[in-house]
Amino acid sequence: MKKFVYCIGFFVLFLAVGAGFYASYRYGAAQSAGQAAQAEGKTDDRELDVQEAAAREASAGVPLESYAVETEAKAAVGYILKEENDRVVVYCADGTTLFEYTDIFVSELPYELQSQIRRGKEISGSAQLYSFLENYSS
């Protein structure tokens, strides 16, 4: 009979320790969520400042400081599709910076699209680019 009482006591102790760990986990998660919400408000202001600074530098002719900001600036302008070795190659809007090689054969595209790509088809925005790539990829 004593073994049974001890087993029940250990089981209750185990449940109490588990409940304590769970409660401390939930409390910590709630605190970090609150801190993240406060930091998010500050982060949004910082991100806007970085974007405004990048826009000012780009308009003033000053080179951009980070690759991410440079990539976002180019993505906002658009892309150019060109042909190289019968494949579609994506360049940034400047026409010289390579963005991506594709496995799309120009010869397999419709004739009208082939002539546009050979002349340098302009695509505005990453949504249209990925839509094109998705539609014509095999």
What's the pLDDT tens digit per position in 79-131? 999 999 999 999 998 888 889 899 999 999 999 999 999 999 999 888 888 88
pLDDT for the residue numbered 73:
52
Can you give the length of the chain in residues? Answer: 138
1-5, 47-51, 124-128: which range is least confident on average? 47-51
Structure tokens at 3: 């073994």
138, amino acid identity: S
Q: Please give the mean pLDDT across all residues of the chain.
A: 75
* Percent of the chain whose pLDDT exceeds 90: 23
Return the SS3 of 24.
helix
Task: State how far the Cα of 40 lies from the Cα of 42, in Å rounded to an integer.
Answer: 5
Report the DSSP beta bridge partners of residue 122.
80
pLDDT, position 75: 46
DSSP letter (8 states) at residue 95: S
When mean pLDDT is compared across 16-30, 52-66, 70-84, 120-134, the lowest value belongs to: 52-66
Question: Percent of the chain beyond pLDDT 70?
Answer: 66
Instruction: Tell me how far apart the alpha carbons of residues 124 and 77 are, in angstroms, rounded to a whole number.
Output: 6
Q: Amino acid identity of 64?
A: L
H or E stretch covering 105 = strand 98-105
